[in-house]
Amino acid sequence: MLHTLHSDILIQFPDWTTDFLADNNKSFPTVESRMQLVIELSRFNVEHRTGGPFGAAIFNIRTHELLSVGINLVVASNCSIAHAEMVAICSAQQQLATFDLGASKTAQYELVTSCEPCAMCFGAIPWSGIRHLVCGARDEDARNIGFDEGPKMTEWKEALESRGITVETDICRAEAAGVLQQYARGNGDIYNGRQG
C-alpha cells in the first residue's frame, strides 16, 4: 500500500485576524486609508510571527467597505501559493460564493497589496475579477531584502491595464517598504523557491 493519496486543501487565518477585523469594521474612503490597513496587516503578520511581511485586502470601492484580507501564510499553511494577494482573492470569492469578483452589477472590487505582485499573483489577478490594483512597496523593495519576485514580465502593469484592470503604484511606498526592512532586521525567514 502507498500512503493516502489526496486531501482537501485548507488555508486558515491566524487567531489575531478576528480582532483585527472587528477593529476595522468601518469605511475606508481614500486609497491611502485602504493602504494603511494593508500595511498594518503586513506589520501584524511579522509581529505575531505568523508569516512573511506581506498584506493585502479587497475593498468594494462603491461602498468603501472591506470585503476580505490576506496575509502571507506560506509557512503556516504549508502552501507555497498562500501569498497575501491569493489569500485575499480566495477569501473574498468564497465569502461571496462566486469565482468572479467582476460579475456583480452593483459592487466594484479593488485589490490593495502592500507590495507589487510576484509573477504568480500577477497571473492570478486577471482570473479574479477585480477591476483595480493598488500597490505599496515596489517589487524591487522585496528583492532588496532577498525575496524573489519570480519570472515576471517587465511590462506587467501594461498587461493588466490592457485587460481593463487599473494599476496604481507607490501608495505609501516608504511605509510599506519599512515593514519589509523591519522583517529583515528581525531575521525573518526569507523563503523563496526550492531549498534543496
Please list every residue from 145 through 174 that binds a copy of itself, using CB under 8 A: 148, 150-153, 156, 159-160, 162-164
Residue whose C-alpha is closest to residue 12's, from 94, 97, 67: 94
Query: Which one of the spans 33-41, 79-87, 134-142, 170-178 is the region binding a copy of itself (CB under 8 A)?
Result: 79-87
First to last CA, the chain: 28
Residues 6+ away with beta carbon under 8 Å from 187? none
Among 55, 129, 136, 178, binds a copy of itself (CB under 8 A): 129
By CB under 8 A, residue 79 contacts a copy of itself: yes
By CB under 8 A, residue 17 contacts a copy of itself: yes
What the block records as the C-alpha cell of 181 is: 526592512
CB of 166 closer than 8 Å to CB of 133: yes
Query: Which one of the spans 35-43, 90-98, 171-179, 180-188 is the region binding a copy of itself (CB under 8 A)?
Result: 90-98
Strands 166-168 and 65-71: unpaired
Q: Which of residues 104-123 bind a copy of itself (CB under 8 A)?
A: 104-105, 118-123
